[in-house]
Every structure is written in C-alpha cells, then in structure tokens.
C-alpha cells in the first residue's frame, strides 16, 4: 500500500487501541474481549496478507504489530489478522470460509514432529485453528475450552486431541521458512512495542513522582536506569524492523536468520527494559490494580514464545551452508 494508505491503517489501529485498551486486570472480561475483537474485525485488516501479492508488506505488518503491542489489548491481531491469513496465502487459499488462528504447543512453540499437547494461541474471535507441522503439512482443527495463560490479555484455547482434523495443504520448504520468519518478526514487533510503551510510561512517572521533595527523575540513578532501558528498546526496534525488511527483500533462509536474531535480541532486551521500568514504578507496580504487570506478563511470556534465546542461538550457530 502507498504511504498515505498505510498511515490511515496505522491510525485506525492506534484509534482502536485508545478506545479498547484495558487499564487494569479487572477490565479483562468476556464482554470487553468480544466488543474489542468485533471492532478490530470491522477494520477489515484480515485482508492485508490474504492476497498474492499481499496488500501490505511484512514491514508494514510489523509496524502494525508494534503499534498493537503498545497498549494492553485483548484483541487477536497477530493470530487471526496477521499469522493465519499469511499461512493461507502461502497455501494459495485466498478466500477462507472461517476465521482461524494458529496452533502452538502448550509450551508455545511451533509444533514439532512428536505428538504434544496443543493450544490455539491468540484466539479471540477465531472459530478454528491452523496447525503447521515441522514438515510443512497444514491442518485445521477445532477449538476447545479456554486455557490458562500468564498473559492475562491474550486469549488461548485448548485443542481437543480427539477432535476432527481437516487437511488444508502443504507448504514447500521455502514457504515454511518464510512463514516461520514472519511469525518470529510480528511477535518480536509486538513485544518491542510493549517494551517501548512501558519505558515511556516509566519516564513519565519519573517526571511526576516526587520523593525527598523533588521528582525522582532528577536522581542520577533513575536517569541512568531509564537511559539504559531506552537504548535496549531502540535495539529491539531496530533489529526487528531490519528482520521485517529482510522478509520483503531477502531469500527465506536469510529472512529466517534475521528473524531469529531479532527474536533473540527482543527476548533479552525487551524483558530487561521492562524490568527497569518496574524498578522506576516501585511498589505500586506490584499491585493487581496497576497496569504494569500486564506489560510484564506479556513480555515475560513473550520471551519464551515460539523460541527462547538459547534455542535461537543454537539454531544460529549452525553454519548457513549446511542448513
């Protein structure tokens, strides 16, 4: 899409976030989830990656995911709007008759070759889920009951082990690598947006919170803490946006390498930045009513989502020529 059109789409996501962001855990209710997801569906963003060539680049989708992560939202942008439609596009299925999300293992990893308990991740508004095997086979499965999650705003559903399975198609090796890279990038982008927003909130709090008769932001120790957190956020943002660029401009092998580097960086830096923000907020950040733990839960769980840093570094250590 052209720049003006993208700015319009980004502003629609920003407006949605302003209207439906939750400010405490007590606001996370089925009614608020439903109304927010309905408003997201009305934006028609599911068509961004449904056609070939897609209406939006991977870079634009990453920026939308980043914007979505800046506020605690119960909407499923990643699962039902970005990841599942991209998977169907790669399969050549441009006119889905349902609203699927994606399947992960209960540990929130890509499904492997061995049987495992599965969940439908980021499933608000979804009526089915797509599972991608390590060999690239794609099947559609039914959704089970709600499953618990550390991230209170993310909707997760169980996948019945004895439910019906519909074969959807098969990804060739290059498309499988590209889809995995795309998933790593949009997840990293959302986490980078969350960390950035939280550090900004901590900076604003440091300006107004007074101790010993002056704003805590005037204390050098707090300044250093927030400066370091800002550098960490910039690192997350930069490496993730480069990985998104690689998805649009590089072969799938290189795009996956860049995506793995981005996720490894975000796993570490975004979490460290949020920890720094928690220190600035102090005791109030430890309370149920405060918004801080919603950010912490998202980023803390996100650091293990799809792949941990150790798993990514092990994959990156394999020489590219032998992949």
pLDDT tens digits along 207-263: 999 988 999 999 999 999 999 999 999 999 999 999 999 999 999 999 999 999 999
Rounded to whole angstroms, how far apart are CA atoms 7 and 16? 14
Rounded to whole angstroms, how far apart are CA atoms 133 and 171? 10
For 303, which DSSP code? T
128 forms bridges with which residues in the sheet? 100
Instruction: Supply the pTM of this predicted model.
Output: 0.94
Strands 118-121 and 156-158: antiparallel
| pLDDT of 323 over the 60 cut | no
| pLDDT of 321 over the 70 cut | no
| pLDDT of 322 over the 60 cut | no
Q: Which residue has the tokens 């590089």?
A: 250
Average pLDDT over residues 263-289: 96
For 163, which DSSP code? S
Domains of the chain: 175-322 (1.20.140.10)
Take residue 49 and report the two structure tokens written for it.
């990656």
Which CA distances in Å does 320 have to 52, 307, 316? Answer: 29, 19, 8
Q: Sort residue 228 into left (φ over 0), alpha (ψ -120 to 50) or beta.
A: alpha
């Amino acid at each position: 899409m052209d720049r003006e059109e993208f700015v319009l789409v980004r502003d629609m996501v920003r407006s949605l976030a302003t209207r439906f962001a939750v400010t405490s855990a007590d606001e996370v209710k089925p009614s608020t989830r439903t109304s927010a997801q309905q408003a997201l569906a009305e934006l028609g963003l599911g068509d961004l990656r449904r056609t070939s060539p897609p209406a939006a680049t991977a870079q634009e989708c990453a920026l939308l995911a980043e914007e979505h992560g800046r506020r605690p939202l119960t909407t499923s942008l990643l699962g039902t709007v970005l990841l599942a439609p991209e998977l169907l596009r790669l399969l050549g299925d441009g006119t889905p008759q349902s609203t699927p999300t994606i399947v992960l293992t209960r540990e929130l990893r890509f499904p492997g070759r061995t049987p495992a308990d599965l969940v439908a991740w980021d499933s608000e508004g979804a009526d089915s889920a797509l599972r991608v095997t390590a060999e690239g086979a794609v099947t559609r499965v039914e959704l089970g009951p709600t499953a618990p999650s550390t991230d209170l705003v993310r909707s997760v559903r169980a996948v019945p082990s004895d439910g019906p399975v519909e074969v959807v198609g098969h990804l060739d090796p290059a498309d499988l690598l590209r889809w995995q890279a795309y998933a790593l990038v949009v997840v990293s982008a959302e986490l980078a947006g969350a960390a950035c927003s939280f550090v900004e909130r901590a900076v604003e709090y440091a300006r107004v919170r007074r101790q010993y008769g002056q704003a805590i932001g005037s204390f050098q120790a707090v300044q250093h803490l927030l400066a370091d957190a800002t550098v960490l956020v910039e690192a997350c943002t930069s490496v993730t946006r480069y990985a998104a660029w690689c998805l649009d401009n590089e072969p799938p092998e290189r795009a996956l390498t860049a995506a793995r580097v981005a996720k490894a960086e975000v796993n570490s830096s975004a979490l460290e930045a949020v920890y720094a923000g928690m220190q600035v907020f102090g005791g109030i950040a430890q309370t149920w009513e405060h918004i801080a733990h919603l950010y912490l839960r998202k980023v803390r769980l996100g650091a293990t989502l799809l792949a941990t840093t150790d798993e990514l570094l092990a994959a990156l250590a394999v020489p590219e020529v032998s992949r």
